[in-house]
Amino acid sequence: ITREKESGSIQQIFASPLTAPEFLAGKLIPYGVIAFVQIAMVISVGFVWFGVPLRGSLLLLFATGLVYVFCTVGIGLLVSTVTTSQLVAMLLALIVTMMPSFLFSGFLFPIFTMPYLLQLYTRIFPARYFIDLSRGIVLKGAALPELWPTILLLFAYTLIVFLLAVWRFKKKVA
C-alpha cells in the first residue's frame, strides 16, 4: 500500500468501486498464501531433514499456521496503512514485530524465566501463541480440545488487526 501511495496509483484504488475490506483482502490473501507456503516448507524440513517427531495432528498444525500467517501479514498490512513511505513501513514492521517476536515469543528465552511485567508484555505478540500451539501439537500431541482457547485468541487477534487496517484505510480515504 505504501508503494502505491508513493507512486500515486492509490488514487485509482480510491476511485474504483472496491470497498476497503475487498481491497485489503486482495492485498492480504496473496502474501498470506506465500507466507503459508514458506511455513509449510519450514515444517516439512523440520520433519524430514531434522527428524522432529510429530505427536499431534498435521492438519491442526497447518490450520493454526494459516491463522498465524494471516495474523502476521495483517500486521504488515496495518503498518502499511499507517505509514506513508516504504522505508518507514519496513523499519516500523521490523521494530514493532520481528525483533520483539524473537525476544518475547518464548522462541529464544522461556517466558516463565522473564520478570512478571515482561511475561504480561509477551501476550501482545502473536508469535507467542503460535509457538505455544506448535509446541503443543508437535511435541506434546495436544489436540483441539486443549488448544481451542489459544487458537480462538489468535483468530480474534487476526480479525482485530484486519479490522483496524480496514478502519485506518477508510480513514485515509475519507
Domain range summary for the chain, segments of one domain joined by +: 2-173
Left if phi > 0, otherwise alpha if psi is -120 to 50, otherwise beta: which for 141?
left
Q: What is the average pLDDT value for the chain, to the nearest integer? A: 89
Q: Span 95-122, mean pLDDT?
A: 88
Top mean pLDDT of 15-29, 99-113, 138-152 is at 138-152
pLDDT digits (tens, 9 = 90+) for 50-85: 998 889 999 999 999 999 999 999 998 999 888 888
**CB-based contact 94:75 (threshold 8 Å):** no
pLDDT at 93: 84
pLDDT digits (tens, 9 = 90+) for 1-30: 888 888 877 777 777 888 888 888 998 999
User: Which residues contact residue 54 at a Cβ distance below 8 angstroms, ignoring those fewer than 6 apart?
Assistant: 47, 61, 138
User: Which residues contact residue 89 at a Cβ distance below 8 angstroms, ignoring those fewer than 6 apart?
Assistant: 2, 76, 79, 80, 83
What's the pTM?
Answer: 0.85
User: Which residues contact residue 154 at a Cβ distance below 8 angstroms, ignoring those fewer than 6 apart?
Assistant: 64, 67, 68, 71, 126, 129, 130, 133
Amino acid at 12: Q
Q: What is the DSSP letter of 139?
A: T
Instruction: Quote the cell numbers at residue 44.
Output: 516439512
**Share above pLDDT 90 across residues of the chain, in percent, rounded to a whole number:** 51
Q: For the purposes of burial, counting CB atoms within 10 Å of the CB of 164, is it exposed (0-12), middle (13-18) or buried (19 or more)?
A: middle
The band of 97, judged by pLDDT with boundaries at 50, 70 and 90, is confident
